[in-house]
A and B are shown apart, each in its own frame.
Chain A
C-alpha cells in the first residue's frame, strides 16, 4: 500500500509525522516529553519536520531529576534554542526538599519520586492532555502490546487489560476532562532504525553516546561515570580512566557505561550490529523481575 520508492525509514518517518499531526489537531494542550536521549532527538527532529515551514505547535518538557549528566543539560538547552521549541523544565519540589538522590534513597525510590511523581505533577500543573514519548515496542516485552495512543485515567494509570482497540491508523483521541493520553510515535521503530535515521538525517545527539576516556568507578557490576562531586565515592573506590560510552542516558549513577572504542556514529552502529546485549541492560532500574516494567507503567512511570 506504499509507494515503491519509499524506503523503510521513509515509511517509519511518515507514520510518525502522521501521528504527531494527529496529536496537534486532536488535543487542546499536548506536550512532548524530552529526555535528551537519542529517541528524544529523533522525536524532536520529526516534530520540526511535521510542521515545517511553521514552528512546532507542541512544546517540549523535561522532567529533570537533578542527576542527569551535566552534558545532557547543556545539550538540551542548546537544542531548544536551535529548533525554536518552547521548553518546560520540571523538578519535583518534594524531592528537592528531601534532597532526594539515587545514592542515599536507592534507585527505585529516586526514580519513583523524581521521575514518576515528577511527571504526574508536571502533567497536572500544566494541564497537559496528551504527552508524547519516545518509547518503542521493541524495547521491552510489555511495551510490545501498548497502543500508539495509550489512554491514562485521571490518576495517570494505565490499564493493560482494557486498552482501546487501535485499527488502521485511526487514533481515538477523545477523553474526558482530567484524563490524558500518552502517545508513542516511535512505536514501530527499532533501536537500529533510530541510529540509522540519526545517521541519515545528521541529527545531533549528546556526545555521551560516543566513546571517550572518562572517569568511572566499578560499582555493583556496572561502570558508573564520576560526572562531578554529586557522586560520593565509596571506601576504596578509585576513579579510573576508561574509554567508555553510554547506550542509554538516564540519571548518571543509574546508567552503566560500556567499554568501547566506538567514537564515531558509524562505529556505534557497527558495534551495535555485532552487539549481543539489549540496550535496557544499561539501566539499573530494570534489573528487577521481568514483569516489573509493566507494574511501573501501571503506576504511571512512562
Chain B
C-alpha cells in the first residue's frame, strides 16, 4: 500500500527533480550497515575523551559545535583551556558540574562504510542499570581500561553485564598507552588477562587494541608510536567486525502490537518481525491459543508484499478468522516458541526499593503486559566476582537468578535465542516506574503439573447451607489502632445475628502457623500471604472471616484482595493517628520500640502505607467503637 500522498502546492514538488548524483549518494548511504555499540569504562578511564575523539576525527563536528566546545573547554574543561573532548559528550548540566557521566547518552557518527550509534554509558557500580540499558540494544561493546591500571574489578563487572545482556563482541581498548611509554609488554599482559576473563564469561569474540584517546593514537589510524602493533585501529575494527548472527535461519516470530481493523473487509495484525522470514501461504500458529491458519497477505512500509522478514514493521493478514489480540505471538507453525507461565530468569534490579519475593509487578515482554511475581530467589550473583550468594531480596543494581510466575501463560523464547521474546521489564504497580529487567532462561514446568482437585460440593452450596454470603473483612491499621477491639465486637454482633464467622488475628497466627516468621520486610510479605491464603480457604468454606492484621504494605493488601472475587473482600482501614496509638500503647510496644528494643516496628522504624481506597474508612478519633461496628456490619450486610 503506497500511502496516498500527493504533491502539495505550498510544498516542494519532489517528484519532478531527480538528479543522478543525490540518488547515487542515497544508494551508497542506504547500503551502509549500522553498528550499535556501547562504551564501558570507569570514571577517568578516558571514555568521554575517546568518544569525543571519534566524533571529532570523523569530522562530525560542525563549526558552531566546535565553537561551543572551545568556549566550554575554557569554562569547564580539564585540559588547561585546550580542547576537552569529554565535554562534547557530557550532556546534562548536573553531570557536567559533577564531572561524571550519569545517564546513557546516544551519539551518532558515520564513515564511508558504516553508520554508528554509540550508547555512552556510565561505569560506576551505582549506574549498573544505566549500563544495562545501553547494552540492551548494542551489538558490540568497547571495554576501556587504563594501561597503567590493567584489569580492575569494574572491568570484570562491565564484562559481566555485557555477557548478561547478550552482547557477543567485545573490543578491549587499552587506553592511555602514552602514559606507559607505549610499552608492548604492558599491553600484551593486559590483553592476555582479558582473554581469560572473557572466556570465563562466555564472550568468544574479543579484539584487543592499544591506544591513546587523548593523543588520537590508533583511534582512527595506525600510530607511529605503536610500531609493534600489527592489528587494526579502533575505527577500522568498528567498521569491519561482522556482527550478524551465524545462524540467521531463525524461525519466524511476530508479537502482535496492534489489530488493524479499518472496515469489515480488512483485519490485519501489525508488529515488528522479531525473528525469521515467512511467505504468503505458509502455515502459522497463534500463541498462546494454539490456533493454526495460513498467512494470507503482508503489508510492509513499501506496500503489499508476499513475504515478511526479520526487522520489518509489517501488517499480516490471515486466511481464517482466528482470534488474535495485542500481545499474542504469530509464529511459523512447525517451529513454534514455547508457552508457559513460570520461568527461571536473571533479573537486574533498577529501583531503590528492593525486589521482594511474593510482591506483584507488571511484566512487559514483546507487546504483552501481564501480572507477575518472583516466587523464589535462587541466588544472587555478585556482579563484581560472579559468585553466587544466598539472598532474600534484591537491591538496586544487583542481579539475581529467580523463578517467576505470571498470571497467564505467554509465548516466549530463551533470551539467548531471541532478545524480543526473551527480554522483559518489570514495572511497579503503584509508581509505574520501571523497576527491573530480566532475561528468560527456560520455562519451569510446574504450572502444568498441578491439577486443581475438582471439588464436588461447590462454594455456593456451602454458603447456601449457612444462609450467608461468605466474605473477608480485612482490618488494617497501626498497632494499637483498635483493629482487634473492633473486629471482636463485629464478630460478636454477627454471631448474635446467626452468622458463621471466624477471626484471624495477627498475634494468634504468629504463635502457630507463622511462628517461623520475623518482622523483616520479606517476612511481613510472607506473613500476609499465608494469612490471605488461609482466609481464602475459609471463605471457600462459606465463612465470614475477619482478619485483623497491621498489614502495612499496600502491595500485600492488594495481593490479598486479588485472591477473592469481586465484592468478597472489604478492606477496613482503622485510622488512628500514630500519636494516639503511642499514647494508648496497650502492650507497651511503642515504648520498647522507641527505646530501640524492637527493630522494624511499624510506624516507628518500619513504614505504614495507608490504604488509598479502603472500602470502609474508620476515623476512630471521631467515632465510638459502637459506631465503628455499626458502619462495618451495615456495609457488610447491605
Interface of A toward B, CB cutoff 8 Å: 1-11, 13-15, 17-18, 21-22, 24-25, 45, 48-55, 71, 74-75, 78-79, 82-83, 137-138, 141-142, 144-145, 160-161, 163-170, 172, 174-176, 187-188, 190, 192, 196, 198-200, 202-207, 209-210, 264-266, 269-270, 273, 275-278, 281, 290-291, 294-295
Set of chain B residues within 8 Å of A75, measured between Cβ atoms: 8, 10-11
- A278/B14 contact (C-beta < 8 A), A54-B262, A82-B5 known: no
Q: Are A199 and B105 in contact (CB under 8 A)?
A: no
Choose one: B102, B108, B367; the contact of A190 (CB below 8 Å): B108
Binds A, one of B87-95, B153-161, B556-564, B585-593: B87-95
Q: Are B14 and A198 in contact (CB under 8 A)?
A: yes
Digitize B224-257: 1 where CB-to-A-CB distance is under 8 Å, 0 elsewhere.
0000000000000000000011001000000001
A267 to B258, CA, bound (A): 39
Q: Are A206 and B5 in contact (CB under 8 A)?
A: no
- A165/B130 contact (C-beta < 8 A), A1-B245, A176-B432, A203-B5 known: yes
Closest to A264 in B: B17
* Interface residue ranges of B83-125 to A (CB < 8 Å): 89, 91-94, 96, 102-108, 115, 117
A10 to B262, CA, bound (A): 25
A77 to B427, CA, bound (A): 41
A266 to B92, CA, bound (A): 36
A62 to B19, CA, bound (A): 34
Set of chain A residues within 8 Å of B424, measured between Cβ atoms: 170
A202 to B63, CA, bound (A): 30
A144 to B326, CA, bound (A): 31
B446 CB → nearest A CB, Å:
26
Binds A, one of B25-33, B177-185, B516-524, B630-638: B25-33
Q: Is B12 an interface residue, CB under 8 A from the partner?
A: yes
A-B contact sample (8 more), CB < 8 A, given A169-B420, A265-B22: A2-B310, A14-B272, A51-B258, A75-B10, A145-B104, A174-B362, A205-B11, A294-B91
Closest to A198 in B: B14
Set of chain A residues within 8 Å of B245, measured between Cβ atoms: 1
Q: Are B108 and A137 in contact (CB under 8 A)?
A: yes
Q: Are B133 and A14 in contact (CB under 8 A)?
A: no
Q: Are B34 and A11 in contact (CB under 8 A)?
A: yes
Q: Are A276 and B62 in contact (CB under 8 A)?
A: yes
Digitize B122-147: 1 where CB-to-A-CB distance is under 8 Å, 0 elsewhere.
00000001101100110100000000
Q: Are A145 and B420 in contact (CB under 8 A)?
A: no
Q: Are A137 and B106 in contact (CB under 8 A)?
A: yes
Binds A, one of B64-72, B480-488, B491-499, B536-544: B64-72
Q: Are B105 and A144 in contact (CB under 8 A)?
A: yes
Choose one: A4, A55, A192, A273; the contact of B262 (CB below 8 Å): A55
A131 CB → nearest B CB, Å:
18
28 A/B residue pairs, CB under 8 Å, sorted by A:
A3-B311, A7-B30, A8-B115, A10-B312, A17-B313, A18-B257, A54-B260, A144-B89, A145-B91, A165-B425, A165-B434, A167-B132, A167-B425, A168-B136, A168-B419, A172-B433, A188-B108, A196-B25, A198-B14, A199-B14, A202-B15, A204-B5, A207-B12, A210-B12, A264-B19, A290-B72, A294-B91, A294-B93
